[in-house]
Amino acid sequence: MQTNIPWFTNSTLFELARRGQRLTHIALVVPMSLVIPLVSQFAAIPVILVMFLRFGNIETLLNMKGVSVLEAAFWMSAQLVSSFIFIYIILWFWLYLFEKRPFWTLGYKLKNAAMQYGRGFLFGALMFAGAVAILAAFGSVQLEQGDPSAQGFPALGAVPLVLIGWIVQGGAEEVLMRGWALPVIGARTRPWIGLLVSSVLFALLHLLNPGLSVIAMVNLALFGVFAGLYAMREGSLWGISALHAVWNWVQGNFFGFEVSGTTANGGTVFNLMETGADWLTGGSFGPEGGVAVTLVLVLGTAFLALWPSNPPTETSAN
């Protein structure tokens, strides 16, 4: 069947997935995609134990109250890295032992990597800033008075440190969902099935997050669709990994919102709070649980789907 969207039906990601000796069956992909992140969280236990010994009580460990902003940023980054690093390691072992292909085939070709990563970083920052602009237009966001030592100028040295953790976290979720689950399922069945299933799985990963709502679940699935299309169109994970990381970083440590229901310690450049209706602002889940982000994701997805692609070069018939 002919198609005028070759980047969707014949994305490089599907070609890379087929380079192994076998493709994991969807009956394994689905449970593994949910179990691997849960298993990876246990790797943070040593970090949490060290933090408990350092601070002596759970309350300080959770909110970092009374801790210098630089140290709080260090521990925030350490928790993110330790909680998600094993996703990369488990996938590496699975590809090596079962699918028999190298890790870079998950979408990490070196060609144009820097350009794609930088572009994704810029797009992620602009997209979330767009959601904040929508909230501001509705009068649903304002500055919040917080710890002066952990916001604004005093936090500028700490905020970049937390980015290291967000880079590991965002990349881990992308390599699992858009680098592995989507291409493997899409290569075995249909591209749209891979996109749909991976997007639903991505939303399900957040079921235990505090403050979760119906709109939040819809937005998480929408982000999955957007991220899948981005990765498929680019044929790479570099861009969407950067976009995901900076989206969370800007949300939590630039604007000071909750990130999927959790507080981002380590300082914030601006300390904003939502003041409007939860359906618009997201309430305790953060902006990702509100319609402002829904609008940004719908516009971003439409842009990816409708923006004209370069005409395919002529190739010999198969």
What is the pLDDT confidence band of residue 131, given thresholds at 50, 70 and 90? very high
Q: How many residues does the chain have?
A: 318
Structure confidence by residue, pLDDT tens digits, 71-129:
999 999 999 999 999 999 999 999 999 999 999 999 999 999 999 999 999 999 999 99
Distance in angstroms (rounded) separating the CA atoms of residues 239 and 118: 7
pTM above 0.85, yes or no: yes
What's 177's DSSP letter?
I
Domain ranges of the chain: 6-306
Segment 42-57 mean pLDDT: 92
306 phi/psi in degrees, rounded to 5 = -105, -20
pLDDT of amino acid 60: 83
pLDDT of amino acid 58: 83
For the cut 60, the answer to whether the pLDDT of residue 205 exceeds it is yes
Segment 206-222 mean pLDDT: 94
Burial class (CB in 10 A: 0-12, 13-18, 19+), 35: exposed
What is the pLDDT confidence band of residue 146, given thresholds at 50, 70 and 90? confident
Segment 12-23 mean pLDDT: 95
pLDDT of amino acid 4: 60
Segment 136-162 mean pLDDT: 90
What is the pLDDT confidence band of residue 30, given thresholds at 50, 70 and 90? very high
**Helices 214-234, 238-249: inter-axial angle, 10-degree rounding:** 150
What is the pLDDT confidence band of residue 278, given thresholds at 50, 70 and 90? very high
pLDDT of amino acid 176: 98
